[in-house]
Amino acid sequence: MGQPRWGRVGNILLTALLLAVPAEARPRPPRIEVPAVLQAWVVGVTDGDTVKVHAPGLPELRVRLLGIDAPESGQDFGKVAKRVLADKVMGRELLLHTRGLDRYGRVLAKLLCDGVDVNLAMVREGLAWHYAHYASTQHSGDAALYARAEAQARAGRVGLWAYPDPVPPWEWRRKRH
């Protein structure tokens, strides 16, 4: 039967009000200052290249692993990449070497767990691509190291490279939007 008349009118008025407020005047999540090196504990794993961390004195942070792009959850190896990343870092203490925030407000960082570069490990294990498009944002020497690791994983047919022609996540996302 539908909503009562006042419900539809209320929805229309609310929509009109929201459209009347310029985008720059709408509230945005606060931009936070993140130190270049940060000690944190992983409290969640979103996917194969994004985690949630807790660091003293800061709100819960979403962290995007710098220099890599893992398959999306709907892609081959997407769920595997998430599970392997969770096995590596969930509940563990990490050292984050940060590079600011991305356009979604996530902290961009290289994760070190017991001295091991987790981002690089994901590429070596064939669970992520080196995100060469953003190589200039990586820490000194990392882009070349990650590119070599991807080439070795491809040559060894490790992880997702065991399949013919895996689709990079950035292409998969572009086709979905």
Q: Which residue in the list 106, 124, 125, 150 is annotated as catalytic?
A: 106
Three-state secondary-structure class, residue 43: strand
Distance CA 26, CA 51 (A): 27
Catalytic residue list contains 64: yes
Q: Is the dihedral of CA 46, 125, 120, 117 positive or negative?
A: positive
Catalytic residue list contains 103: no
Q: Which residue in the list 26, 62, 72, 173 is annotated as catalytic?
A: 72
Catalytic residue list contains 124: no
Q: Which residue in the list 64, 124, 125, 150 is annotated as catalytic?
A: 64
Distance CA 112, CA 119 (A): 8
Determine contact, residues 153/126, Cβ cutoff 8 Å. yes
Q: Which residues are tagged catalytic? A: 64, 72, 106
